């Protein structure tokens, strides 16, 4: 995954905040994915327009974390979400 | 329920967060079912704007499962606006209807907005039985037409029966009718008094001998479980905790059977009602323990009992009292 990639949310997922966590339910209600606070922050900002580099900037603005760690965590999170078909990579 | 789902549900329970909401959109109806619990009413229904605002509050609360019911929901001219918003907010939306007003355009609308399932009343396997109990000539034909339109579009359908004296003999046929149309089927023995307390609807309920002669696998909740429920599975429930009911006028209840108002959305927010300033009655429900329903907790046939606290409230005014029909059924089952 490249930091300049643009991702989109796949349709049909139900998203609910539960405290610091974000619950993402698949369209059939059969699988639940739980994102932690930062994961929820990232998921919120995936909009099919902003590249991941802008999401990284937003993370650095809000969280006290060094850029390299944030970049690694961001890419690792979105790769998992793409694998699980919750997020898609825009062409 | 998978481990993760159960874990999340338990978290919801521990926080009294709503997981399931049943919203009555209207009491207006095209039918006058003999056993209907709805009384005459005068208050104005929640407006479109109020309903949309409520849906957003339910989403913020964390609700996943939303049931839209009536009356007849298709009598609301803004139904598509409501269903579309429910879809946009990601609810698993079930619609409860007579089916009579579902035409191809309505079925398309439900498909377009990804309604999760449509539940419709089936009160007889034959038109004459169904129409007579719905007090609406042509109701059965309308229902069958709706089933076809919805199934053609791949929308899951649940046919729901209330077992009454007049249709108990058709229970197996109704189940077969549903299966032949690829619909789920369930039947309930529960007939509630009218909201205002009039017990006339209960005069249509089957007697206990008839109830016991019915196939328990077709009844809501399935067969009585073999395992002991002495932990209190049927002495407390999730009403007032993860489940709520809301009337067309914005009154909030623990559930639609347990119609003790605990707040009004016309003057309070959902958050205020459910979390920040709960009615003492709601607090009492949440604090209740199985052993407080002492008559039931010490009952020797409780392991066979399908008691519902909401029904206990509806029938006796006290959610911790025994439900006579459940007592007798449990007693009979245990011999």
Instruction: Say what the ipTM of the complex is.
Output: 0.73
Kindly list the residues from chain B whose CB atom is less than 8 angstroms away from the CB atom of residue A18.
8, 11-12, 17, 62
What would the mean pLDDT of B157-171 be, rounded to a whole number? 96
* A23 at B interface, C-beta within 8 A: yes
- Burial status of residue B105 (CB atoms within 10 A of its CB: 0-12, 13-18, 19 or more): exposed
Model confidence band, residue B149 (pLDDT cutoffs 50, 70, 90): very high
Q: What is the DSSP letter of B196?
A: T
Render pLDDT for B74-83 as a digit per residue (tens, 0 to 9): 999 999 999 9
Render pLDDT for A12-26 as a digit per residue (tens, 0 to 9): 898 998 888 899 988
Q: Closest to B8 (Cβ–Cβ): which among A15, A23, A27? A: A23
The Cα A81–Cα A16 span in angstroms is: 16
Render pLDDT for B238-284 as a digit per residue (tens, 0 to 9): 999 999 999 999 999 999 999 999 999 999 999 999 999 999 999 99
Model confidence band, residue B234 (pLDDT cutoffs 50, 70, 90): low
Q: Measured at the alpha carbon of residue B167, what is the angle toward residues B166 and B170, in degrees to the nearest 5?
A: 140
Q: Which two tokens stand for residue B10?
A: 């338990």
* B17 at A interface, C-beta within 8 A: yes
Query: Looking at residue B231, what is its pLDDT?
Result: 46
Q: Which among B155, B3, B22, B1 is positioned nearest to B91, based on CA atoms?
A: B22
Q: What percentage of chain B exceeds 90 in pLDDT?
A: 66
Among chain B residues, CA nearest to A32: B5
What would the mean pLDDT of B91-117 be, rounded to a whole number? 97
Count of other CB atoms within 10 angstroms of residue B178: 22
Kindly list the residues from chain A whose CB atom is less than 8 angstroms away from the CB atom of residue B63.
16
Of A13-22, A56-65, A76-85, B156-165, give the lowest mean pLDDT range: A13-22
Q: Is the pLDDT of residue A45 over 90?
A: yes
Query: Looking at residue B137, what is its pLDDT?
Result: 96
Minimal CA separation from A44 to chain B, in Å = 14
Q: What percentage of chain B exceeds 70 in pLDDT?
A: 93
Q: Is the pLDDT of residue B227 over 50?
A: no
Of B49-58, B138-147, B226-235, give the lowest mean pLDDT range: B226-235
The Cα A39–Cα B178 span in angstroms is: 44
Q: What percentage of chain A exceeds 70 in pLDDT?
A: 100
Count of other CB atoms within 10 angstroms of residue A2: 10
User: B323 or A85, which is more confident?
Assistant: A85
Q: Is the pLDDT of residue B334 over 60?
A: no
What would the mean pLDDT of B292-317 be, rounded to a whole number? 83
Model confidence band, residue B226 (pLDDT cutoffs 50, 70, 90): very low
Minimal CA separation from B5 to chain A, in Å = 7
Model confidence band, residue B324 (pLDDT cutoffs 50, 70, 90): confident
Task: Name the phi and psi angles at B118, rounded to 5.
Answer: -120, 130
């Amino acid at each position: 995954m490249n930091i300049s990639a643009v991702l989109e949310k796949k349709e049909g997922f139900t998203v609910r905040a539960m405290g610091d966590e974000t619950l993402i339910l698949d369209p059939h209600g059969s699988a639940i994915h739980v994102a932690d606070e930062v994961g929820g922050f990232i998921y919120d900002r995936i909009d099919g327009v902003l590249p991941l580099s802008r999401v990284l900037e937003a993370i650095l603005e809000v969280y006290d974390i060094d850029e390299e760690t944030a970049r690694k965590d961001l890419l690792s999170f979105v790769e998992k979400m793409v694998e699980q078909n919750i997020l898609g990579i825009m062409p | 329920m998978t481990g993760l789902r159960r874990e999340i549900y338990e978290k919801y329970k521990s926080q009294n967060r709503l997981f399931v909401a049943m919203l009555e959109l209207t009491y207006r109806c095209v039918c006058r079912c003999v056993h209907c619990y709805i009384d005459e009413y005068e208050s104005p229904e929640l407006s479109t704007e109020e309903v949309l605002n409520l849906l957003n509050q339910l989403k913020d609360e964390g609700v996943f499962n939303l049931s839209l019911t009536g009356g007849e929901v298709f009598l609301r001219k803004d139904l598509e606006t409501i269903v579309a918003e429910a879809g946009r907010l990601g609810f698993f939306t079930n619609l409860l209807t007579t089916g009579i007003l579902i035409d191809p355009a309505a079925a398309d609308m439900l498909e377009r907005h990804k309604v999760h399932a449509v539940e419709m009343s089936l009160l007889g396997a034959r038109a004459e039985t169904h129409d007579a109990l719905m007090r609406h000539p042509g109701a059965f034909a309308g229902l069958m037409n709706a089933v076809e339109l919805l199934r053609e579009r791949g929308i899951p359908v649940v046919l729901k029966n209330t077992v009454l004296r007049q249709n108990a003999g058709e229970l197996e046929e109704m189940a077969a009718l549903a299966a032949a149309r690829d619909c789920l089927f369930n039947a309930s023995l529960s007939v509630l008094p009218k909201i205002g307390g009039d017990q006339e609807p209960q005069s249509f309920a089957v007697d206990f001998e008839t109830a016991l002669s019915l196939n328990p696998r077709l009844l809501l909740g399935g067969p009585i479980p073999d395992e002991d429920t002495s932990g209190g599975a049927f002495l407390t429930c999730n009403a007032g905790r993860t489940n709520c009911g809301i009337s067309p006028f914005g009154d909030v209840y623990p559930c639609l059977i347990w119609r003790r108002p605990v707040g009004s959305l016309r003057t309070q927010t959902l958050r205020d009602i459910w979390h920040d300033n709960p009615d003492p009655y709601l607090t009492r429900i949440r604090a209740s323990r199985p052993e407080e329903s002492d008559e039931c907790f010490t009952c020797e046939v409780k392991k066979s009992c399908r008691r519902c606290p909401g029904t206990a409230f509806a029938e006796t005014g006290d959610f911790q009292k025994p439900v006579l029909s459940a007592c007798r059924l449990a007693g009979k089952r245990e011999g």
